[in-house]
A = this chain, B = another copy of it.
Amino acid sequence: MIIRLDMQSDLPIYTQLMNQIIEGIASGELKPGEDLPSVRSLASDIGVNLHTINKAYTLLKQEGFIQIHRQKGVVVNPEGMPGITPEYEQKQTEQLRPMIAEAICRSVDKEHLLQIVESLYDDILHGEKENA
Protein backbone atom coordinates (compact mmCIF):
# COMPACT_ATOMS: atom_id res chain seq x y z
CA MET A 1 0.00 0.00 0.00
CA ILE A 2 1.28 3.38 -1.00
CA ILE A 3 1.21 6.10 1.62
CA ARG A 4 1.11 9.72 0.52
CA LEU A 5 1.90 12.41 3.05
CA ASP A 6 1.35 16.10 2.62
CA MET A 7 3.79 17.90 4.87
CA GLN A 8 2.02 21.19 4.12
CA SER A 9 -1.34 19.89 5.28
CA ASP A 10 -2.94 21.23 8.42
CA LEU A 11 -3.70 17.62 9.29
CA PRO A 12 -1.12 15.97 11.56
CA ILE A 13 0.94 13.23 9.95
CA TYR A 14 -0.49 10.57 12.24
CA THR A 15 -4.02 11.62 11.23
CA GLN A 16 -3.19 11.41 7.54
CA LEU A 17 -1.77 7.97 8.18
CA MET A 18 -4.89 6.82 10.02
CA ASN A 19 -7.11 8.17 7.25
CA GLN A 20 -5.20 6.37 4.54
CA ILE A 21 -5.15 3.08 6.36
CA ILE A 22 -8.88 3.33 7.04
CA GLU A 23 -9.52 4.14 3.40
CA GLY A 24 -7.31 1.22 2.43
CA ILE A 25 -9.51 -1.07 4.49
CA ALA A 26 -12.70 0.50 3.14
CA SER A 27 -11.58 0.03 -0.45
CA GLY A 28 -10.63 -3.59 0.15
CA GLU A 29 -6.98 -2.97 -0.58
CA LEU A 30 -6.24 -3.98 3.00
CA LYS A 31 -8.09 -7.08 4.14
CA PRO A 32 -8.74 -8.33 7.68
CA GLY A 33 -5.76 -10.36 8.86
CA GLU A 34 -3.37 -8.65 6.49
CA ASP A 35 -0.01 -7.52 7.86
CA LEU A 36 0.90 -3.88 8.18
CA PRO A 37 4.53 -2.72 8.20
CA SER A 38 6.34 -2.51 11.52
CA VAL A 39 6.54 0.90 13.13
CA ARG A 40 10.23 1.09 12.32
CA SER A 41 10.13 0.00 8.71
CA LEU A 42 7.16 2.22 7.87
CA ALA A 43 8.81 5.12 9.63
CA SER A 44 11.97 4.79 7.59
CA ASP A 45 9.97 4.14 4.40
CA ILE A 46 8.06 7.37 4.55
CA GLY A 47 10.73 9.33 6.36
CA VAL A 48 9.12 10.11 9.68
CA ASN A 49 9.83 9.23 13.25
CA LEU A 50 8.92 5.86 14.74
CA HIS A 51 6.74 7.52 17.35
CA THR A 52 4.58 9.18 14.75
CA ILE A 53 3.73 5.78 13.27
CA ASN A 54 3.25 4.36 16.72
CA LYS A 55 0.72 7.04 17.58
CA ALA A 56 -1.33 6.33 14.48
CA TYR A 57 -1.23 2.57 15.11
CA THR A 58 -2.15 2.97 18.77
CA LEU A 59 -5.17 5.10 17.94
CA LEU A 60 -6.27 2.71 15.18
CA LYS A 61 -6.00 -0.12 17.68
CA GLN A 62 -8.07 1.77 20.26
CA GLU A 63 -10.83 2.20 17.71
CA GLY A 64 -10.68 -1.46 16.74
CA PHE A 65 -9.36 -1.24 13.19
CA ILE A 66 -6.13 -3.11 13.80
CA GLN A 67 -4.54 -5.46 16.28
CA ILE A 68 -1.06 -5.09 17.66
CA HIS A 69 0.77 -8.16 18.87
CA ARG A 70 3.85 -7.79 20.97
CA GLN A 71 6.32 -9.65 18.86
CA LYS A 72 4.38 -10.57 15.75
CA GLY A 73 3.57 -7.09 14.53
CA VAL A 74 0.51 -5.22 13.31
CA VAL A 75 -2.43 -6.68 11.39
CA VAL A 76 -5.76 -5.46 10.11
CA ASN A 77 -8.27 -6.72 12.68
CA PRO A 78 -8.98 -10.33 11.60
CA GLU A 79 -12.20 -10.36 13.63
CA GLY A 80 -13.64 -7.69 11.40
CA MET A 81 -14.18 -3.99 11.75
CA PRO A 82 -15.78 -2.11 14.63
CA GLY A 83 -19.49 -1.50 14.23
CA ILE A 84 -21.71 1.50 14.70
CA THR A 85 -21.15 2.50 18.32
CA PRO A 86 -22.88 5.43 20.04
CA GLU A 87 -19.54 7.21 20.35
CA TYR A 88 -18.99 6.78 16.64
CA GLU A 89 -22.41 8.13 15.80
CA GLN A 90 -21.80 11.16 17.97
CA LYS A 91 -18.41 11.84 16.42
CA GLN A 92 -19.89 11.42 12.95
CA THR A 93 -22.64 13.92 13.67
CA GLU A 94 -20.24 16.45 15.15
CA GLN A 95 -18.08 16.22 12.07
CA LEU A 96 -20.87 16.24 9.50
CA ARG A 97 -22.92 19.05 11.01
CA PRO A 98 -20.55 22.00 10.29
CA MET A 99 -19.84 20.69 6.80
CA ILE A 100 -23.50 20.45 5.94
CA ALA A 101 -24.17 23.89 7.42
CA GLU A 102 -21.51 25.38 5.18
CA ALA A 103 -22.93 23.56 2.20
CA ILE A 104 -26.35 25.05 2.91
CA CYS A 105 -24.84 28.54 3.15
CA ARG A 106 -23.20 28.02 -0.22
CA SER A 107 -26.47 26.99 -1.81
CA VAL A 108 -25.57 23.37 -2.30
CA ASP A 109 -29.04 21.87 -2.54
CA LYS A 110 -29.84 18.65 -0.80
CA GLU A 111 -29.88 16.49 -3.90
CA HIS A 112 -26.52 17.81 -5.00
CA LEU A 113 -24.99 17.14 -1.61
CA LEU A 114 -26.38 13.62 -1.55
CA GLN A 115 -24.92 13.01 -4.99
CA ILE A 116 -21.51 14.17 -3.80
CA VAL A 117 -21.63 11.81 -0.85
CA GLU A 118 -22.88 8.97 -3.00
CA SER A 119 -20.19 9.34 -5.63
CA LEU A 120 -17.46 9.56 -3.00
CA TYR A 121 -18.87 6.42 -1.42
CA ASP A 122 -18.66 4.58 -4.72
CA ASP A 123 -15.24 6.03 -5.42
CA ILE A 124 -13.80 4.66 -2.22
CA LEU A 125 -15.43 1.27 -2.64
CA HIS A 126 -14.03 0.80 -6.12
CA GLY A 127 -10.65 1.65 -4.68
CA GLU A 128 -7.61 3.15 -6.24
CA LYS A 129 -6.52 -0.01 -7.98
CA GLU A 130 -5.06 2.21 -10.62
CA ASN A 131 -2.43 4.30 -8.88
CA ALA A 132 -1.24 7.26 -10.91
Which residues of A are interface residues toward B (Cβ below 8 A)?
19, 22-23, 25-27, 65, 81-84, 88, 92-93, 95-108, 110, 113-114, 116-118, 120-121, 124-125
A19 near B92: Cβ-Cβ < 8 Å: no
B107 near A81: Cβ-Cβ < 8 Å: yes
Cβ-closest chain B residue relative to A124: B101
Q: In the complex, A106→B97 CA distance in Å?
A: 19
* Residues of chain B lying within 8 A (CB to CB) of residue A107: 81, 83-84
Q: In the complex, A97→B100 CA distance in Å?
A: 14
Query: How many Å from the CB of A73 to the closest CB on chain B?
Result: 21
B81 near A105: Cβ-Cβ < 8 Å: yes
B124 near A104: Cβ-Cβ < 8 Å: yes
* Residues of chain B lying within 8 A (CB to CB) of residue A96: 99, 116-117, 120
* Residues of chain B lying within 8 A (CB to CB) of residue A83: 106-107
Q: In the complex, A121→B124 CA distance in Å?
A: 23
* Residues of chain B lying within 8 A (CB to CB) of residue A82: 105-106
B65 near A93: Cβ-Cβ < 8 Å: no
| A84-B108, A117-B113, A118-B114 as given contacts; A92 in contact with B101, CB under 8 Å | no
